[in-house]
Structure 1
């Protein structure tokens, strides 16, 4: 026990001050805390104040003051200093994390030893384990004295097991099943993935959040009198399991009897009335009413009233179980945008961002245009995060500044790909691209494919704003070598150098039309066993052919995201027309994608593609322009480009007509919640290719089902799928597992 004594009852003038008992502390540190100096008048009150000040430092175990004549001696007994803090038996936490945690309570290396701090540290460690569900965790402390008044402190931990939620019950529910209600909870009993999600580990904060979700679920379905009567959390005697019982009172279900719009709606009452999601006779929903108010506020924003106030006022009749409500609106003053400020773009130039804006300075505030501007900047793909905010202009009531903050991300991509199949199908490809070279918004890419069947090197450059009006220009230069997709292999080789230029003209915010022209040459080298169609083509037109294709295309993209779309539509049509040279043909393709959100977390996606090609001027369709299906991008479960007609040697010939249809059900990867960076899907792919003179029969379509995972990982985008063909014909070549991975730099 610490003691403090002052042996002086008389006052005197201090002649000298001495310090006795120091081992590590400098004498100057002691003098700093003394309220007197040599030459001062000493009093017992000053002695007591000196002792209190020295104790307050926490450095000393005992302090006393003795006087001999006019000399004061401060006698010190220092506290031991902690030489090292160690942990034994800790598996759930790293020692580094525990050391950091204890430093927050003042315990660490080179700190004075204090038993009270040790006890606080033990409690802190126990709290850390309780938060992880280790309710049986025990913590004891061993203090080992060392030389020079130092000690080692060792915390011995017996973690025990994690207490799992063995029972989670809801009592008193009648309108909804218990399983339906528990689906709203983040907590759950142990399952096949709870080792990863930790959802079976009790947390008071999680339970409170789940109770709020339960309350919202009922109130959004008309149960305004719903309440939670009690929540019982019981820990088993051995502290290994927890039982949770929630007692609820549902009450009656309320319906909407009517509503009124009150206030100033800019003379557009009918337009605003159409935004009300609750109609007479509907089940009352607080969420639907709040969504209606939010839609009205956004509608006012479209007309420049950025700070409109819209307030709902429900009136509840508990006798008839009906709810009526009024919505009061005050648009306020019309707001204008003074300045648009951009921050966070350390690499991308301001011009690249500003040219995507559809809200302009000195124009009235338009919420739709501001959202569109933000979305267009986000769709550039140059930024991890894009935030748009408003700042009031001091001294004015009708102006705001827009503040866009972006966070740059790596826009270079090193792509690596590999594919496996059941029939000698291992292929590799690589690409290097920079979507925002030198911060200009331009794209440059180099791709290389080294597979046995398809080898290519291609250089591409895109300037999305070749003109100030947003007309894009893309230049492509490539050199390809194509071999047959067959196990016999090497019976022909197609060598194709080419170049083309394409311009994209924006017609609307979501529509773009493309025009282009190019030059292509094909050299066909045949070997014994080559397909008869190739031999026939060479005999008629020679080994080398060239053409000057003209292209026209159209694209409409209304998806909510180009990277992880869950809603919206994408369409693309393209036609190549080559009327000159020895290659004369027309080739057209059309792709349609639609995404239907089923819930906040899941959606259904459809992808369809059709293709048609035909030779011109009485010439057959060049074999180089056949359409192909099978493999990644068309029909998973089948080897790349293997579907369609084959010759006697098993060579895939391709065709002049193609039909592909893919369905996917997309959902979060189990245990990841709303994280869209990793998603899972189940799919049904189908498709086929027919020859130019073959009739199109849907009965020929091949099909496969499977599962896939798409992950925007720290090392780049990663996708893989496992497919199982369910509709095949003898001779079909299957491909089971595929994945691709990209690495940002």
Structure 2
């Protein structure tokens, strides 16, 4: 009786396999179980049998169902190595079944041949194809490579380029060669861009023929933002061919320019403007391209009432001062977005409300008015708990920290955060500075400044020849960040057959960690020879004292420079002695000094 039951179970499983292979498995067959007592693989030439068996998920000795076999086929298929995968019944016994996995491998690549390419180099084509010898090549990869080449040609303006990739199979090795045949054709140039539906332009100049309006508006009607000429100007990367413009077409940039057109309308009151359709056509010789764009402008809108809710820190009038528009102005999406994202939001950020959010709600009133209601969520005020500096492998931390205008314990202020980053940038010690804000609780934040050090020390040498000075040269060494302390040190030596100069400079920009600059320099100069008529030897130095100011604002600084030098003139030539006006006395030292005051203001965002 048990033997008969085993045979019955086996018969049911055979039926299961038949129905599975014909893709008509019933729910009952998919859940029927039978023991797997053998599993083999056939058809694999290079693929590892163990890899196939492992990815099938079928385990000898376990009970399997139709669902398990179907899933096994899917998992082997996902390896991307085979063009065909089947699981068939090899033989059956009363104890269970033997199954066989039949696979057919995709071919492997032998070589690539490219012909017809002139405008794109072969190595660039091979980079786009992204194939290598011995690689398994699937049909979808070949199609993807073809599309990539067509996209590259379209990017360069060859919109009508043709690419055909042939597959040739070697009878000896079974590997394939890819023959890439390219017909580049000629570049297609944009001949004309025509707009349809820009009625706002036609209404501005009634009575003029459209052809005349279109021709004149670029320069005779400069205040018309909707003339065809102005609309073409908003298409930044899609231009008609002229003497100064190539007229090349790029599909991706063209789509960006369509968005630019709509944004232009929305920023001039036409909030509901849309592009209904656009078309691209070619001349008979396929050398010129014509673009037609149909626009539905919608109604012209104006800003109506401006109201606020949820604001307790600032009253309505203070918030209205931050808006870039007023009631009655022509609607502008750009001005609305900037008012919210830059002005209103930063107003709260500068007071430490880092989670403040302002949401504008547009409320249509009639056919031409939009009331704007601003919903304000202020949140909590945040203070700075810690400021962490990372990446300063050379520069001392205090050199960076003393530049901050935002410090631990201060109320968080996004403007001061930007200013602190600016001050560190001015040091010119770092190639990159990334400030980051990390909330630590519902009232405090930690600030992180990640910096990347760059090489700042410089050695300068030069050599040459001049008719006046003969052989000349120079040697200099500058350390703007001496040993990471922020001090500045430099030595400069210049020499020639009739002159030489030597100078040494040291500057401390933060004396005792205060914004007080002290600098000293010493110099020695010698000039002489027949060209000058006498020898001149000068020795001296200078003392510089500077300070950052808080008034009229903290972008000002003042510097005083005191210079003292001693000069001696000797070896007067007879011709110079004859015409010497008498203000120079041979071998008599002359001492001079002077003070220079310098007041500067530098408020550049990124000096």
**TM-score, length-scaled by structure 2:** 0.72
Instruction: Extract unaligned runs of 5+ from structure 2.
Output: 1-16, 19-33, 203-223
Within-5 A mapping of 1:452-471? 456-471=501-516
* Aligned partners of 1:81 and 1:150 also within 8 Å: yes
- Of 169-178 and 251-260, deviating more is 251-260
* Aligned partners of 2:35 and 2:61 also within 8 Å: no
Pair 1:554 & 2:574 matched: no
**Which of 267, 290, 295 lines up with 2:343 in the alignment?**
295
Within-5 A mapping of 1:267-282? 271-282=318-329
Partners in 2 of 1:292 and 1:66 — Cα distance?
Answer: 72
Within-5 A mapping of 1:218-617? 218-250=265-297, 253-256=300-303, 259-266=306-313, 271-293=318-340, 294-319=342-367, 321-393=368-440, 396-413=441-458, 432-447=477-492, 456-480=501-525, 490-491=532-533, 494-508=536-550, 509-524=554-569, 527=573, 535-538=581-584, 541-543=585-587, 545-547=589-591, 549-561=593-605, 563=607
- Taking only aligned residues, the RMSD between alpha carbons, in angstroms, comes to 4.7
Q: Render the CA deviation track for 1:266-296: whole Å, top value 9, x for unaligned.
A: 3665544433332345444333333333323
**Which of 169, 179, 185 lines up with 1:160 in the alignment?**
185
Q: CA deviation at 1:245?
A: 2.6
Q: Render the CA deviation track for 1:67-96: whole Å, top value 9, x for unaligned.
A: 799999988876542133353444554545
* Aligned partners of 2:520 and 2:542 also within 8 Å: yes
Pair 1:212 & 2:259 matched: yes
* Aligned partners of 1:223 and 1:251 also within 8 Å: yes
Q: CA deviation at 1:355?
A: 0.9
Name the structure 2 match of 1:125: 149
Q: CA deviation at 1:356?
A: 0.8
* Aligned partners of 1:336 and 1:365 also within 8 Å: yes
* Aligned partners of 1:491 and 1:527 also within 8 Å: yes
Q: CA deviation at 1:27?
A: 5.8
Q: CA deviation at 1:561?
A: 4.5
* Aligned partners of 1:476 and 1:500 also within 8 Å: yes
Q: CA deviation at 1:235?
A: 3.7
Pair 1:149 & 2:194 matched: no
Q: CA deviation at 1:357?
A: 0.9
Distance 1:548 1:528, change over 3 A: closer
Partners in 2 of 1:257 and 1:426 — Cα distance?
Answer: 77
* Aligned partners of 1:136 and 1:240 also within 8 Å: no
* Aligned partners of 2:193 and 2:290 also within 8 Å: yes
Distance 1:452 1:159, change over 3 A: farther
Q: CA deviation at 1:410?
A: 3.2
Q: Render the CA deviation track for 1:26-60: whole Å, top value 9, x for unaligned.
A: 66556656777899999999999988877765556
* Aligned partners of 1:513 and 1:552 also within 8 Å: no
- Of 178-187 and 71-80, deviating more is 71-80
Partners in 2 of 1:100 and 1:136 — Cα distance?
Answer: 22
Name the structure 2 match of 1:112: 136
Partners in 2 of 1:217 and 1:425 — Cα distance?
Answer: 64
Distance 1:49 1:225, change over 3 A: closer
* Aligned partners of 2:566 and 2:592 also within 8 Å: no
Distance 1:127 1:339, change over 3 A: same
The count of aligned residue pairs is: 539
Distance 1:159 1:455, change over 3 A: farther
Structure 1 counterpart SS, 2:355: coil
Distance 1:192 1:528, change over 3 A: farther
Partners in 2 of 1:409 and 1:233 — Cα distance?
Answer: 50
Distance 1:249 1:138, change over 3 A: closer
Structure 1 counterpart SS, 2:170: strand
Q: CA deviation at 1:251?
A: 5.6
Pair 1:85 & 2:112 matched: yes
Q: Render the CA deviation track for 1:182-205: whole Å, top value 9, x for unaligned.
A: 33322223456656xxxx432333
Structure having the larger proportion of residues in helix: 2
Name the structure 1 match of 2:25: none
Q: Render the CA deviation track for 1:149-185: whole Å, top value 9, x for unaligned.
A: 3333332323233323232334423433433333332
Name the structure 1 match of 2:3: none
* Aligned partners of 2:459 and 2:476 also within 8 Å: yes
Partners in 2 of 1:552 and 1:470 — Cα distance?
Answer: 20
Name the structure 1 match of 2:194: 169
Partners in 2 of 1:219 and 1:50 — Cα distance?
Answer: 55
Q: Render the CA deviation track for 1:288-336: whole Å, top value 9, x for unaligned.
A: 33333332332233333333333444444445x4554444444332221
Q: CA deviation at 1:13?
A: 9.8
Q: Render the CA deviation track for 1:616-650: whole Å, top value 9, x for unaligned.
A: xxxxxxxxxxxxxxxxxxxxxxxxxxxxxxxxxxx
Name the structure 2 match of 1:189: 240
Partners in 2 of 1:458 and 1:192 — Cα distance?
Answer: 55
Q: Render the CA deviation track for 1:454-485: whole Å, top value 9, x for unaligned.
A: 8644332322222211212223233445689x
Q: CA deviation at 1:226?
A: 4.0
Q: CA deviation at 1:390?
A: 2.0
Q: CA deviation at 1:66?
A: 10
* Aligned partners of 1:356 and 1:377 also within 8 Å: yes
